[in-house]
Structure 1
């Protein structure tokens, strides 16, 4: 199992992000929301993923960065579940929509539920 999150798997393309929010689908498991779009990605990359935390609820960058670290770390552990279930290429954006500061275990639990919901949604839509 590969638990890395290398640079080429990070979502950086502004046009792809805009397209994702305009035309993509979403699943959510409060306080996490996963916006995704099926996409043709460069190289041999299966997924590209970005994370975001609202500045509205977390004024201090320290708090936003901590939550983003939690999101990236939990995604890194869960991405193999997605890889085992699908062969398509996707671009993901994981959003934290809650108002309170979470701890790591809470984010990990919600990320597992979110990934399961995504997999069920995608298997149903095939």
Structure 2
């Protein structure tokens, strides 16, 4: 299981020197957000094909680890921190959408239940009327 990771590893961070000459790294959030979107599309494909999404997640993690393996450790840490934030944000968005859909289903289910009860009352009244008028 693989995805096409756009660009090269160096595109996913910037390197700077602080005032004492030490290198610091900052992840490229926009690139990582786009990668998370690509990853989520792939996971949706896996789910649609009824394959193992958990295994697919592990495979994609391994692929991303390998993609970043040539980078300095501190650059990878900066990238992973931001990557996890973006994965969490995407997950929260999916959860929010799921909750919205579930709430709509509850409302529809309640409406259908009430309509079913109303129809049952109408049918009972109709049967009672037929019985009363045939006697």
Give the TM-score category using the shorter length: 0.3 to 0.5
Q: TM-score when scaled to structure 2?
A: 0.32
Greater RCO, 1 or 2 (C-alpha within 8 Å, sep 6+)? 1
Q: TM-score when scaled to structure 1?
A: 0.34
As a proportion of its length, which structure holds more helix? 2
As a proportion of its length, which structure holds more strand? 1
